[in-house]
A and B are shown apart, each in its own frame.
Chain A
Amino acid sequence: MFETLSLLTLQHYWWIIISLLASFLVFLMFVQGGQTLIYTLGKTEPERTIIVNTLGRKWEFTFTTLVTFGGAFFASFPLFYSTSFGGAYWVWMVILFSFVIQAVAYEFRTKPNNFLGQRTFEIFLFINGALGTILIGAVVSTFFTGSEFSVNKLNLTDIVSPVISRWEGPAHGMEVVLNWRNVDLGLAIFFLARVLGILYILNSVDHEAIARRSHKQLWVNAIPFLVFFLAYVIALMLSKGFAVAPAAGKIFMEPFKYWHNLMEMPVVAILFVMGVLLVLFGIFQPLLNFKACCSKGIWYAGPGTVLTVFSLFLLAGFNHTAYYPSTYDLQSSLTIMNSSSSHYTLTAMSYVSLLVPFVLAYIVYAWRSINRKKITEEEMEEGGGHTY
């Protein structure tokens, strides 16, 4: 089935899968957003326990999506893996550290004799929630703003110095925070994650005080999210982009490239607009019709986030665009054509990708089984259950 597809088609197919994984990852970062609100929404110990347990039942999905995103990117576009991870070393390391400390925080938080103390594990959750979202957002922004690196495969024949991908800036990734647009997207993702976290908590917790505070915090976080997001989108549409000349494969700067992409790919434009509208509806529906018990905002804002991020990734990689551009050497920029795996590997992996709907189906089934009933203070106090 996949064998007959051209390499170019498979490269597009895999960019779609990468984009989907990235968009689900951003949606699932509601866990991270919620982690930064534990003390804002929970004023008493039992309230904080409810919030931590609500998020804690989903943290592994976010984590697994991140790991799968990394693995899938490696398998389908290995040159990105070697160039970005080996070059932007520090920004990735900081992101990874934040996830390392998250992975134990839920399980260890309230266990007796946990060495570092409950507060430390809660700080771990906060660090992960803040750094993880802001820095992932900033790194994704470099897909549009570029980084300083070079790629030369001939280096492999230099016995003294055979490394193909080289980072040409001294900060090895931390320079992402020096570009206002990167920081802007980082903050947009941070506030979006908090908004999604609040919406998820509103949807999953049956607790009056938490719901009241969540409602208030929705305003506080939705406004900066919208400001940062709109600023980013406007700057993106007005900026020059990294275009690929289809015949020669040469990369050049094209004014309004991402605006052109949006116009030349109407399906992407529709997805983008639908995504943004769904996010806005998801936010404003509970804001304008506050009912402490039953908010479904997450089920609009969540898919809205998926559609928006998905379409942004397609803007970065499709329509003859370099998705990981180099500002140091334009011709070193990575495109889905020059950085992908071979036809054989993409074909083999495409068969594996047929499992994805099956995986999604059992996740949805298991998710519904656990979320059928809202989390209450009584459930936390019940003996015999597994509480964080």
Chain B
Amino acid sequence: MIDQIDLSMVDWARAQFALTAIYHWLFVPLTLGLSFIVAIMETIYVRTGNPEWKKITKFWMILFGINFAIGIATGIILEFQFGTNWSNYSWFVGDIFGAPLAIEGIMAFFLESTFIAIMFFGWNKVSKGFHLTASWLTAIGANFSALWILVANAWMQHPIGMEFNPDTARNEMVNFWEIIFSPMAVNKFLHTISNGYVIASIFVIGISAWFLLHKRHVLTAKRSILIAAIFGIITSIFLAFTGDGSAYTIAQKQPMKLAAMEGLYEGESGAGLVAFGILNPSKKPGNDEDPFLMKIEVPQLLSILGYRDANAFVPGVDDIINGGYKPWFENIQEEEKEMTYSVAQKIERGKLAISALRDYKTASKAGDTIMAKISRDQLEVNFAYFGYGYLNKPESVVPNVQLTFYSFHLMVILGLYFILLFIVVLYFLSRGTLEKQRWLLWLSLWTIPLVYLASQAGWVVAEVGRQPWVIQDLLPTIAAVSMISSSSVKITFWIFAGIFTALLIAEVMIMVRQIKIGPKDGGQK
């Protein structure tokens, strides 16, 4: 019915995915971390038998439940959206991408949904030990589900463990373990879940700080802060380490994303890391404008972070577009390195790959084995650039630098601030004077929105920074969508926006009321 892909449909499909992912990520990270914090609290209750800890556990469990439900509501759309809005993607890589989604359901969602029922309804029906086990299994289930979807996401950023099969016109899995244990997947998983733990820690500290400010539930609040601050300090340091690991893998596998994160247009050896900077809005790839209006830089740090070598060459946006530099890959001798292609050359080779696929399919159908063999060889030689064939100009490979740069720096600065906050809170808690530090209590409360902001910024870096690719180098967004009208996607976008916003308002209002009610009577009506 529709003959060509509607470009605005691609934008609306992207907007819809961004909208649902942003909403989903407002709720999920708290679930990841709060489930563990609740399990730790319940463990203390079971070990000490002190009913105060049961009260604390139940209070945070109620907030967990409210948050959990809306996380599920936003999650189902994400899963099916791969089919509804990105149907070509679903076929092109479904052989690889579908598996983690199915495993997520079988291994993680059932674990989570089965034991969450015990957690909520089993207090008077099962033994203490079984209940505690259920709480831990719920936390493990939640984190398991994150594992599989993050493996899938990492694979899109760095596709490995697969081969293109021209007969089926899709990529097919050839090594399951390589996909799961790719450095990109391991880092992404650890970085993302530790981010969830930090969010939950700050959430618990912030709300407990509010109790202390109002001199309510003082014991519960102090105990909650103790657990959350210890959990937070450990996980935030881990978060920083995994962030470093992520930057390293990005430098290797997605150099354009790294260049955008740093606003680096002209590459250099011994590149510095911008600690703070204001980008020049007139700067475009290839023009002579200075990329920055002002910046404060730490010398050589970007080369160290990206390549573990203070003198490593870090390519900028223009270098990647123009090609002709030797990439600084690990374990490759200087003389073995090849000059990189320009994007224009990659586009040319991509188009060769696409036409070779067409020739191969036509020849195979006609039974022309010689032509089929020639075309297949041509396809294999050029397949690494397959996705470039759908692009029409070299600048298409540049993501939104402003958004990526500011998101990245906001995330890093806030991440460092969170570590400092945990240290300060623990210091005053250990001296027994936390209640008197009203400034710190207010600061803790107002850090709650900041930790969400930092987390969302992290996803903006990951997802905006990899544009235009759905699958790095192999499939751009333009070739991944479904053949539906932009008006259909527009309508569903606004419906989602309306429903999710209403549900978010409901969630926040319910949470605030439950917090005001406090843990005294278990937080229920």
Report if B361 contacts A (CB, 8 A): yes
18 A–B contacts, CB within 8 A, in A order = A57-B121, A61-B114, A70-B79, A74-B97, A86-B90, A87-B87, A100-B73, A100-B76, A101-B73, A154-B169, A157-B357, A157-B361, A163-B87, A172-B484, A341-B98, A348-B173, A352-B107, A362-B114
Chain A residues whose C-beta falls within 8 Å of the C-beta of B170 in the assembled complex: 78
How far is A85 from B79 in the complex, measured between Cα atoms in Å? 11
Evaluate contact between A111 and B173: CB separation under 8 angstroms.
no
New A-B pairs, 17, CB < 8 Å, besides A69-B105, A116-B502, A384-B123: A64-B109, A71-B105, A75-B102, A78-B170, A82-B482, A86-B90, A86-B483, A108-B507, A113-B509, A156-B357, A157-B361, A163-B87, A163-B481, A341-B98, A356-B106, A362-B111, A370-B121
Chain A residues whose C-beta falls within 8 Å of the C-beta of B109 in the assembled complex: 64, 67-68
Chain A residues whose C-beta falls within 8 Å of the C-beta of B506 in the assembled complex: 104, 108, 114-116
Evaluate contact between B513 and A113: CB separation under 8 angstroms.
yes
**At the interface with chain B, which of A89-97, A189-197, A245-253?**
A89-97
Evaluate contact between A71 and B110: CB separation under 8 angstroms.
no
How far is A352 from B110 in the complex, measured between Cα atoms in Å? 14
Evaluate contact between B91 and A386: CB separation under 8 angstroms.
no
Report if B47 contacts A (CB, 8 A): no
Report if A99 contacts B (CB, 8 A): yes
Report if A161 contacts B (CB, 8 A): yes
Report if A112 contacts B (CB, 8 A): yes
How far is A101 from B492 in the complex, measured between Cα atoms in Å? 14
Evaluate contact between A57 and B90: CB separation under 8 angstroms.
no
| Residue ranges of B at the interface with A (Cβ–Cβ < 8 Å) | 1-5, 58, 62, 65-66, 68-70, 72-77, 79-80, 82-92, 94-99, 101-107, 109-118, 120-126, 130, 134, 165, 168-170, 172-174, 176, 351, 354-355, 357-358, 361-362, 389-390, 479, 481-484, 488, 492, 495, 499, 502-503, 505-507, 509-510, 512-514, 517, 521-522, 524-525
The main secondary structure of chain B at its interface with chain A is helix
Q: In the complex, how many angstroms separate the beta carbon of A272 from the nearest chain B beta carbon?
A: 27
A/B pair count, beta carbons within 8 Å = 313
Chain B residues whose C-beta falls within 8 Å of the C-beta of A352 in the assembled complex: 99, 102-103, 106-107
Chain A 132-189 residues near chain B, CB threshold 8 A: 153-154, 156-157, 159-170, 172
- Of the candidates B80, B116, B512, the one whose C-beta lies within 8 Å of that of A96 is B80
Q: Which residue of B lies closest to A53 (CB)?
A: B121
How far is A362 from B358 in the complex, measured between Cα atoms in Å? 50
Q: Which residue of A lies closest to B514 (CB)?
A: A111
Chain B residues whose C-beta falls within 8 Å of the C-beta of A70 in the assembled complex: 79-80, 83, 101, 105
| A-B CB proximity, top 4 nearest | A86-B87, A85-B83, A78-B94, A68-B105
Report if A259 contacts B (CB, 8 A): no
Evaluate contact between A369 and B114: CB separation under 8 angstroms.
no
Interface bits A339-364 vs B (CB < 8 Å: 1, else 0):
00110110011001101100100110
Report if A107 contacts B (CB, 8 A): yes
Evaluate contact between B513 and A111: CB separation under 8 angstroms.
yes
Chain A residues whose C-beta falls within 8 Å of the C-beta of B105 in the assembled complex: 64, 67-72
Q: In the complex, how many angstroms separate the beta carbon of A223 from the nearest chain B beta carbon?
A: 34
Evaluate contact between B94 and A341: CB separation under 8 angstroms.
yes
How far is A60 from B390 in the complex, measured between Cα atoms in Å? 42
Evaluate contact between B525 and A111: CB separation under 8 angstroms.
yes
Q: In the complex, how many angstroms separate the beta carbon of B308 from the nearest chain A beta carbon?
A: 33
Chain A residues whose C-beta falls within 8 Å of the C-beta of B517 in the assembled complex: 112
How far is A240 from B117 in the complex, measured between Cα atoms in Å? 46
Evaluate contact between B513 and A112: CB separation under 8 angstroms.
yes
Report if A372 contacts B (CB, 8 A): yes
How far is A85 from B13 in the complex, measured between Cα atoms in Å? 14
Chain B residues whose C-beta falls within 8 Å of the C-beta of A366 in the assembled complex: 114-115, 117-118, 134
Evaluate contact between B505 and A104: CB separation under 8 angstroms.
no
How far is A289 from B525 in the complex, measured between Cα atoms in Å? 40
Q: How many residues of A contact B (CB 8 A)?
A: 87
- Most B CB within 10 A of own CB, among A69, A93, A108: A93
- Most B CB within 10 A of own CB, among A67, A165, A382: A67
Q: In the complex, how many angstroms separate the beta carbon of B513 from the nearest chain A beta carbon?
A: 4
Report if A387 contacts B (CB, 8 A): yes
Evaluate contact between B361 and A363: CB separation under 8 angstroms.
no
Evaluate contact between B483 and A384: CB separation under 8 angstroms.
no
Chain B residues whose C-beta falls within 8 Å of the C-beta of A373 in the assembled complex: 125
How far is A93 from B76 in the complex, measured between Cα atoms in Å? 11
How far is A104 from B69 in the complex, measured between Cα atoms in Å? 5
How far is A74 from B481 in the complex, measured between Cα atoms in Å? 16
Chain A residues whose C-beta falls within 8 Å of the C-beta of B354 in the assembled complex: 156-157, 159
- Of the candidates A79, A110, A344, A363, the one whose C-beta lies within 8 Å of that of B172 is A344
Chain A residues whose C-beta falls within 8 Å of the C-beta of B106 in the assembled complex: 68, 71-72, 352-353, 355-356, 359
